[in-house]
Structure 1
């Protein structure tokens, strides 16, 4: 199996840059500075119209923790239905209970809404009290992959844990390392973990446009050259 790179993007220019750099898949979100939330209908539709890559949409109604109220779960199901209607390749989701375990019933309802879409369980996994137990629960749900930093701020700091999770998964689910992955540490992660898929943002800070005046602000955008560098390391 060839190694794959997923790029997390939060805008149409970033999605196009990910494609230009040779990424294999996109995770689409907004508000990336706070870990990402569900993108707008308009952004999803336009990315699908202009990008040929598989697009997985983040289903997260707000920043913060992953214990959701019934109302928030209803919003998440509605967003998943929208992604199905628009023709997305998949969704990225996760929900926990107050004890830090996978919220099995809540997640099952979300997966039922997803139907034929691919499903990635996101970094709510890194907030789980017991990752080995959580992995089995996620496998039971029927997710295709888990995005994880191995419980550390950056995947490069959890190489042994990531390798252990991949060994435990034993081909039943993909373990996709993510968080802080750059060209300088990707080769070591490939060698030490045995992972087949990797997740990065490959972003750079774009200075504010002075023409924006009072509302000028810097913006993080995916850089096609950074994406291409990562893709080359996986070749």
Structure 2
């Protein structure tokens, strides 16, 4: 891909994924139920998406839209879900959990990372709810497979988080900052010039790919506009 910026698009099904790939997406984040902010899809949905596209598919691992994983039974259930998805052929994932104090839930994260050993995964926007972003990064730095942070730089979105994003990308390569930063969460086309100039090269869109709302499928024209903006 050379210097091509990565564009990841949220898909809910194979129709979305096909549209995103055809319009220039580089990767799919596969979720269900955006009313819950995106939870784990069914194995059947994953299988249909995997069969429909050639680009990588990262599957969400969470059973609710909360930043916490829940109790021990919830975590056990999530482990079983991860096992099932691995059996179905999933090899890239998205996850991220905090404890009730806003620190990374290392017990849950390490348990799931062991379950998906050998797979690459994204720590999602839970980082934007962390009490200490830098400490979270340092705690997670040695967990196998983590290669991306999906972040807006702020719980309020990219407009507010832009200074944090630019600060963090300037630290890339330092301890805790080896993983790629992928910008998402209230991301708009007008944010791209400052983000690209600052060195950011990975972008994640959900609602921006659906001008008619989440009840409508991914719009190829919208994804093309993002691809063109990134390539231009």
- Cα distance in 2 for partners of 1:229, 1:188 equals 17
Between Structure 1 and Structure 2, the one with more helix by share is 1
1:69-92 deviation per Cα after TM superposition (whole angstroms, max 9, x unaligned)? 111111221222222222223010
2:41 is aligned to 39
Retained in 1: the 8 A contact 2:5–2:230?
yes
Give the alignment's Cα RMSD to 1 decimal: 1.7
Instruction: Name structure 1 gaps, 5 residues minimum.
Output: 207-217
Give the whole-Å Cα distance in 2 for the aligned partners of 1:12 and 1:204. Answer: 19
Kept in 1: contact 2:157–2:186 (CA 8 A): yes
Gaps of 5+ in 2: none
Looking at structure 1, the residues matched to 28 and 15 of structure 2 have their Cα atoms a distance apart, in angstroms, of: 12
Match among 128, 131, 135 for residue 129 of structure 1: 131
| CA contact 2:129–2:155 (8 Å) conserved in 1 | no
Cα contact 2:61–2:95 (8 A) shared by 1: yes
Q: Which of 27, 30, 33 does residue 29 from structure 2 map onto?
A: 27
Describe the shift of the 1:182–1:89 C-alpha distance in structure 2 as closer, same or farther (beyond 3 A). farther
Alignment map for 1:109-120 (pairs within 5 Å): 109-120=111-122
Checking the alignment, whether the CA contact within 8 Å between 1:19 and 1:51 is kept in structure 2 is yes
Counterpart secondary structure, 1:141: coil
1:47 deviates by: 0.4
Q: Say if 1:26 and 1:56, in contact at 8 Å, map to a contact too.
A: yes
Partner of 2:158 in structure 1?
155
Residue 163 of structure 1 aligns to a residue in which SS? Answer: helix
Cα distance in 1 between the residues matched to 2:42 and 2:119: 19
Q: Deviation at 1:67?
A: 4.0
Residue aligning to 1:178: 184
Deviations 1:72-114 (A, max 9, x none): 1112212222222222230101111121101112211110001
TM-score (norm 1): 0.88
Q: Note if 1:66 corresponds to 2:68.
A: yes
CA deviations 1:5-31 (Å, max 9, x no partner) are 111111222111111111000000011
Which residue pairs with 2:219 in the alignment? 223
Aligned residues: 223
Q: Measure, in 2, the Cα distance between the counterparts of 1:107 and 1:12.
A: 28
Question: SS in structure 2 opposite 1:168?
Answer: coil
Cα displacement (A) at 1:121? 0.6
Q: Which runs of 4+ in 1 moved over 3 A?
A: none
2-structure distance, mates of 1:110, 1:168 = 27
| 1:85 and 2:91 correspond | no
Q: Is 1:8 paired with 2:10?
A: yes
Q: Measure, in 1, the Cα distance between the counterparts of 2:140 and 2:230.
A: 27
